[in-house]
Chain A
Amino acid sequence: MSLITVKGLAVGYDGQAIEKDIHFTVNKGDYLCILGENGSGKTTLMKTLLHLQKPIAGEILLQDGLRSDEIGYLPQQTVIQKDFPASVREIVRSGFLGRNGLRPFYSKEENALAEQNMERMGIKELARRSYRELSGGQQQRVLLARALCATQKLLVLDEPVTGLDPKATMEMYELIKQLNQEGVAIIMITHDVNVAVQYSSHVLHVGTPSFFGTRESYLNSDLGKLFLLQRSKKMTADAEEGEAHD
């Protein structure tokens, strides 16, 4: 049962392709990690998946009754949001608005579902708190709860742990894993290959050469091995540099 099939997709701006010939499929219950160097077009690919910009070539097929507005989305935080006066409940409920049409108020079912999603994300006691006073990890949970109000089928996450401390990062990954086990398909953009090989079921590596397949086959591919090696070298170098600064 596939939700999304992408065939020969090219993404980019102003008619200029950044990344060409992207192929992949996401099935119900999958956990796809999109890997790639900075500037390889990961975020552009995501925006195209979300219909925020038009594909340059190729097609994105939505199947199994998935509508284009049923793709939940956890964006990177914007500057505007940092000091936005809004309560947690207000933000979570706004996830419903895409399907409300012209109805000006929330229905009883929607309010109940919003409470349920806040409980799922462990932020129920924060419902009346102001978003700008929360920690980074709590803010991400709020945005996840909002995405769950928009859909229960497929979530697209753009670098969900940027700026979080190690503990909050771990909690965030566990939370996403739990959602995936509850049946929500996940597409996550990350530059952390270790996370990808630990949590994902499938890996899409954008860039040249590119790769799409299961996690196991990625680990055994030359590209996967090379990328893992590079990353672990870079991490050791970073760690040493950090120690030198201390």
Chain B
Amino acid sequence: MIDKLITYFQMPLVQRALIVGVLIALCSSLLGVTLVLKRFSFIGDGLSHVAFGAMTIAAVLNLSNDMLLILPITVLSAILLLHTGQNTKIKGDAAIAMISVGALAFGYLIMNLYSTSSNLSGDVCSTLFGSTSILTLTNEEVWLCIGLSVVVVLIFILFYHKIFAVTFDENFAKATGMKVEAYQLLIATVIAVIIVLAMNLVGSLLISALVIFPALSAMRMFGDFKSVTICSAVISVCCAFLGIVISVLEGTPVGSTIVAVDVGAFLVAYAVGMIRGGSRR
């Protein structure tokens, strides 16, 4: 088995998949804590459906680089969603549900009407649940992913304390002179970028899992923001690595394998949290 693993690791396509998978997992876990705490867990879900809709349009238009269309549309929706969350009559969760289901329906409709592909249901299934495309990444895609990941991590480190303050107490932050709206815009944009990246890995239906599970696991075990953030990044990266390795060895679908490992990690973290919490009280 070890021999088999070593042979696989020497294959460039597996190496690329691992690099991209680990980077995406890292990025998606960073903002997970903020999203979970802000009660925005489903924003990932909503945005990924929007990205799915955008992807079908890109496919129909036969764009060579579909990122150019998907990324701006998703970023725009993210900004719209975070804004409607506060100001309008349609409240946050309803707005997310509306946009996400609408985009999903239109996406499938467009695919059905205009697609020239002979295997339509196969195409839909792979966009929703993650395809094997992570194993067929081109060099350009890998570099794009590396570049965007670096930007996301840098932004997160530079604005770490601000993101904490805005998450913990928006009103206090605003009253003491922080530009809360600007930071929310930043958070929304970064989330959108992460989601578009993560679609390659786990498909649009499973992105929420990638964002939420590591954060929830870490919150079971730690009581301060820094430890939770670091722990959730570590859990996410390990699970993604393990998931990809398992799926390469066993031939299982990449996305769902990673999410399954994430669920497993959450159960372990839950147990650890129970034991530690029990001894503390």
Query: Is A90 engaged at the interface, CB distance under 8 Å to the other chain?
Result: yes
B 148-181 to A, binary, CB cutoff 8 A, 1 in contact else 0: 0000000001111110110111011111111000
For residues 70 through 122 of chain A, which have their beta carbon under 8 Å from a beta carbon of chain B?
A: 71-73, 75, 78, 80-81, 83-87, 90-91, 93-95, 97-100, 104-106
The answer to whether B164 and A94 touch across the interface, beta carbons within 8 angstroms, is: yes
B212 on the interface (CB 8 Å rule)?
A: no
Residues in chain B within 8 A of chain A (CB atoms)? 33, 37-39, 157-162, 164-165, 167-169, 171-178, 218-219, 222-228, 280
29 contacts between A and B (CB under 8 A): A52-B175, A69-B177, A73-B172, A73-B175, A75-B169, A80-B38, A81-B169, A83-B219, A84-B168, A85-B33, A85-B219, A85-B222, A85-B223, A85-B224, A86-B168, A90-B164, A94-B165, A94-B169, A97-B161, A97-B162, A97-B176, A98-B173, A99-B177, A104-B158, A130-B224, A133-B280, A146-B172, A150-B172, A150-B176
| A68–B174 alpha-carbon span in the complex (Å) | 11
Chain B residues near A69: list those with CB within 8 A: 175-177
Question: Which residue from chain B places its CB closest to the CB of A46 in the assembled complex?
Answer: B175
- A: contact size bracket: 35 or more
Q: Is the CB of A85 within 8 A of B176?
A: no
Please give the distance in Å from A50's CB to the nearest CB on chain B.
Answer: 4
Q: Provide the residues of chain A in CB contact with B174, threshold 8 Å.
A: 50-52
CB distance from A85 to the nearest CB of B (A): 5
Contacts of A130 in B (CB 8 A): 223-224
A-B contacts at CB below 8 angstroms, number: 102
Establish whether residues B176 and A133, one from each chain, have CB atoms under 8 Å apart when the complex forms: no
Query: In the bound complex, do residue B223 and residue A106 qualify as a contact, i.e. CB atoms below 8 Å apart?
Result: no
| B223 close to A97 (CB less than 8 A) | no
List the B side residues contacting A129 at CB < 8 Å.
Answer: 223
Residues on the B chain within 8 Å of A146, using CB: 172
**Is A7's beta carbon under 8 Å from chain B?**
no
Q: Does A231 contact B (CB under 8 A)?
A: no
User: Which residue of the partner chain, among B39, B176, B226, contacts A72 with CB atoms under 8 Å?
Assistant: B176
The 4 closest A-B pairs by CB, nearest first: A130-B223, A69-B177, A98-B176, A87-B224
Q: How far apart are A28's CB and chain B's nearest CB, in angstroms?
A: 20
A98 and B172 CA atoms in complex are apart in Å by 9
Closest to B221 in A: A85
Give the residue among B33, B218, B225 with the most A Cβ atoms within 10 A: B225
A residues with a Cβ closer than 8 A to B are: 47, 50-52, 67-69, 71-73, 75, 78, 80-81, 83-87, 90-91, 93-95, 97-100, 104-106, 128-133, 146-147, 150-151
A83→B280 CA distance, assembly (Å) = 17
Asked if A94 and B161 make an inter-chain contact with CB atoms under 8 angstroms apart, the answer reads: yes
Contact yes or no, B168 A75, CB < 8 A: no
CB pair A85 B228 closer than 8 Å: yes
Q: A75's contact among B37, B38, B171, by CB below 8 Å, is which?
A: B171
A106→B168 CA distance, assembly (Å): 17
A78 contact set on B, CB distance < 8 A: 169
Given contacts A78-B169, A104-B158, 5 further A-B contacts (CB under 8 A): A73-B175, A85-B225, A86-B223, A97-B178, A104-B159
Contacts of B159 in A (CB 8 A): 104
Q: How far is the CA of A129 from the CA of B280 in the complex (A)?
A: 12
Which of B162, B175, B226 is A90 in contact with, Cβ under 8 Å? B226
Q: How far is the CA of A91 from the CA of B178 in the complex (A)?
A: 15
Looking across the interface, which residue of chain A has its beta carbon closest to that of B228?
Answer: A85
Max chain A Cβ within 10 angstroms of own Cβ: one of B37, B222, B227, B280: B37
Set of chain A residues within 8 Å of B177, measured between Cβ atoms: 67-69, 98-99
B162, B218, B280 — most chain A CB neighbours (10 Å): B162
B222: chain A residues within 8 A (beta carbon): 85
Q: Which residues of the partner chain A approach B280 to less than 8 Å between Cβ atoms? A: 133
A146 to B167, CA, bound (A): 15
Is there contact, CB below 8 Å, between B168 and A94?
yes
B168 and A81 within 8 A (CB): yes
Q: Chain B residues with Cβ under 8 A from A100's Cβ?
A: 161
Q: Are A106 and B161 in contact (CB under 8 A)?
A: yes
Residues in B whose Cβ lies below 8 Å from that of A47: 171
Residues of A within 8 A of B223 (CB): 85-87, 129-133
Q: Which residues of B contact A132 (CB under 8 A)?
A: 223
Which residues of chain B are near A99, meaning CB under 8 Å? 176-177
Contacting residues, chain A, for B219 (C-beta < 8 A): 83, 85
Return chain B residues, CB-CB under 8 Å to A71. 175-176
Q: How far is the CA of A128 from the CA of B222 in the complex (A)?
A: 12
Residues in A with CB closer than 8 Å to B228 are 85
Q: Which residues of B lie under 8 Å from residue A87 when comparing CB positions?
A: 223-226
A163 to B159 CA separation, bound complex (whole angstroms): 34
Q: Which of A81, A95, A104 contacts B176 (CB 8 A)?
A: A95
